[in-house]
Each structure stands twice: as C-alpha cells, then as structure tokens.
A and B are shown apart, each in its own frame.
Chain A
Amino acid sequence: MTFIALWTGALWGKPTWGTWWVWDARLTSELILLFLYLGFLSLHAAIDDERRADRATAVLALVGVVNVPIIYFSVQWWNTLHQGASVSLSSAPSIATPMLAGMLVMSAAVWCYCIAVVLARVRLIILERERHTSWVERELRTPRTTPPSDPTSLVSGGSS
C-alpha cells in the first residue's frame, strides 16, 4: 500500500526534467528511473488482484532501487556533459550565496510538499481499501449527514 503511494507520489511530485535532451549519463539514468516508475504503475494496473499486484510491484521496486546510486554517481563515473555536484558538505559551496539560499529553501519546500502528498495518498488508499469495514463507514459519515440518534456514530466521525 505504502509502496504504491510512495511511487505514484514520487512520479507526480517529480519536477519536470530540463528542456532539451542530451544522451548524458545523468539524464539517461534519470530517464531509466522515469521508465521504472511507468513500468511500476502499469504492472500494478495490469494485475486485477490488488494484493498480488502489491507484491509483484514491490519486487519491481526493490530491483529499481539499484538505479538510485547509479543516478547519484553517474556524474563521477562517466564524466559526461552534466557537471559534478556544486554543493557538498565537505567543502565550501562553489555557487553564489543568494543562489545557494534559494536552492536550500526551494528544496526544503519540495521535500515538504512531497511528504505531504505521499501521506495524503496513503490515507486515501487506506480508506479506499478498507471501505467495507465499519470504522471507515463511521469515518465517512460526517456528523452533519448522520442523524444524532446513534451516539456511537459520532465518536470518530470528525471532519477529515
């Protein structure tokens, strides 16, 4: 469950790739990542049984993780067009201070947004999968639509 949420969230939250294309190591490995996401989503859509689909795509996700360090080190290993890291923990940053500040603020913002979206999706998927259980029934029925005749229906029926 969390896997799908994470992966769809990552796909959606992925900021756009640059504009024009070069067959550079970083860009190519990043494209492979995009294809992994698409493959993950279509594999999940192809299997009718949700729980089996989860298991199959989880395996694919584990295989796909191999790509992450490849992307990270691609600029050092192949040394193609893409520049190396401009900012690192061990040395002084090589970019101008206003740009560094802007970058840090924006990456913090994108991180916060991605985490929020992943959590929202997990909540939604839990509700969708458990919709036949009594606690979701109670959760979905807001106090306004429920006549207050049954006091138990108000216990956890807060706004969500």
Chain B
Amino acid sequence: MIYWHSWSEFIHMGGYGGYVWGSLGIMALVMVAEVWQIRTRRRRLG
C-alpha cells in the first residue's frame, strides 16, 4: 500500500504532484463551471 510520512510528501506525490493535482484541479473546475452554466441557462427560462 501507498502511504505518506508528511504533508509535503503527500503534495509531492512521488514526483507526479503536478500531474495528479493538475488533473484533479481541472476536473473540479470543469465540473463546477458546467453545472453553473446549466443552472444559469435554466434560470433564464424562468
């Protein structure tokens, strides 16, 4: 199993930090943006 000894190790992700957190971030961003877009479009209908 994978485990981490400290917060900095957790953020570093064994050298793949940019990839892991970047993917996570962009996916979260896209999901929030899309749901928000659908919601405003629905509101415009009344």
Partner of A124 from B2, B42, B46 at Cβ < 8 Å: B42
Beta-carbon contacts of B16-46 to A below 8 Å, as 1s and 0s?
0011001100110011001100100110011
Partner of B23 from A13, A16, A98, A131 at Cβ < 8 Å: A16
Residue contact B18 to A19, C-beta cutoff 8 Å: yes
Given A98-B1, A113-B31, A128-B45 in contact, is the A120-B23 Cβ separation under 8 Å? Answer: no
Name A's B-contacting residues (CB within 8 A).
12-13, 15-16, 19, 98, 113, 117, 120-121, 124, 127-128, 131, 140
State in angstroms the CA–CA spacing of A131 and B45 once bound together. 8
Closest Cβ of chain B to A146, distance in Å, is: 12
Residues of B within 8 A of A16 (CB): 22-23, 26-27, 30
Name B's A-contacting residues (CB within 8 A).
1-2, 18-19, 22-23, 26-27, 30-31, 34-35, 38, 41-42, 45-46
Residue contact A124 to B41, C-beta cutoff 8 Å: yes
Residue contact A12 to B30, C-beta cutoff 8 Å: yes
Closest Cβ of chain B to A28, distance in Å, is: 21
Given A15-B23, A127-B42: 5 more A-B contacts, CB < 8 Å: A13-B30, A19-B18, A19-B22, A117-B34, A117-B38
Residues of A within 8 A of B2 (CB): 98
Residues of A within 8 A of B45 (CB): 124, 127-128, 131, 140
The 10 lowest CB-CB distance pairs between A and B, nearest first, are A16-B26, A12-B34, A140-B46, A120-B38, A124-B42, A15-B27, A127-B45, A124-B41, A117-B34, A140-B45
Residues of A within 8 A of B19 (CB): 19
